[in-house]
């Protein structure tokens, strides 16, 4: 991951509603969620939710896939792990440390 991509991802998450949406999608795992389910769960109006989902998709943190008449939004666990790796690449003064990533998630 390069700096430009990391900044775009962090900017997308630096808004309360988008962070809540992303966390809800991470919680849903690879099954993802429909916008209607997200709106009901998070009490976010559909028009507002649409804007936030677009920003998360643009940042590469979320993907959208059409299944029949529904759009299913899923978290990009790989992109999330790449961002975490980028942020922690120089931790512990270069020594190996035991950082946990979402790659250990059994449902991802």
72-83 confidence digits (pLDDT tens) = 999 999 999 999
Residues 6+ apart with CB under 8 A from 108: 29, 30, 77, 102
Domains and CATH numbers, the chain: 3-104 (1.10.10.10)
3-state secondary structure the chain: CCHHHHHHHHHHHCCHHHHHHHHHHHHHHHHCECHHHHHHHHCCCHHHHHHHHHHHHHCCCEEEEEECCEEEEEECHHHHHHHHHHHHCCHHHHCCCCCCCHHHCCCC
Task: For the chain, give the mean pLDDT.
Answer: 89
Give the residue, 44 or 101, on which the prediction is more confident: 44
pTM: 0.84
Q: Flag whether pLDDT at 98 surpasses 90.
A: no
């Amino acid at each position: 991951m390069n700096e430009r991509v990391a900044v775009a991802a962090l900017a997308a998450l630096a808004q309360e509603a988008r962070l809540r949406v992303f966390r809800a999608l991470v919680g849903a795992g690879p099954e993802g969620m429909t916008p209607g389910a997200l709106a009901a769960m998070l009490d976010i109006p559909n028009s507002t939710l649409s804007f936030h989902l677009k920003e998360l998709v643009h940042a590469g943190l979320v993907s959208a896939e059409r299944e029949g008449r529904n759009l299913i939004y899923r978290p990009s666990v790989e992109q999330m792990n790449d961002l975490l790796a980028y942020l922690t690449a120089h931790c512990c003064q270069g020594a190996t440390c035991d950082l946990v990533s979402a790659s250990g998630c059994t449902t991802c």
